[in-house]
Amino acid sequence: MTLMIAWALSPATTLLNAAALALVLYLAGANPHSLLFWLAPAVYLAAALPYDISALVTQHRKGLGSMAVAEAVVERLWPSRAQEAEQ
């Protein structure tokens, strides 16, 4: 689970998602030679990449690895039973 979250938080996943969007558009019959075809992946990248890059810069500035960040996300979303008992 933590490995999947670490991958999902990676900027590489954003690029993969944009490529998957382009593939789905192509398979649905959109013309890849049209400017409109590339508009959806471009808008997605323009919206998602700044957030991914700023998160990556902050992560490196704090000296955290991707697995440490993923473990913190898992712990925040699904706190351990010991922490639930304290609350």
**Number of independent structural domains in the chain:** 1
> Is 37 contained in some domain?
yes
> Is 86 contained in some domain?
no
Q: In the predicted model, what is the mean pLDDT of residues 53-75?
A: 87
**Tens of pLDDT, residues 8-53:** 888 889 999 999 999 999 999 999 999 999 999 999 999 999 988 8
> Is 66 contained in some domain?
yes
> Is 87 contained in some domain?
no
Range of the domain at 37: 2-81
Under 8 Å CB-to-CB from 70, ≥6 apart: which residues?
A: 2, 3, 5, 6, 9
Under 8 Å CB-to-CB from 44, ≥6 apart: which residues?
A: 14, 17, 18, 21
Query: Is the pTM here over 0.75, yes or no?
Result: no
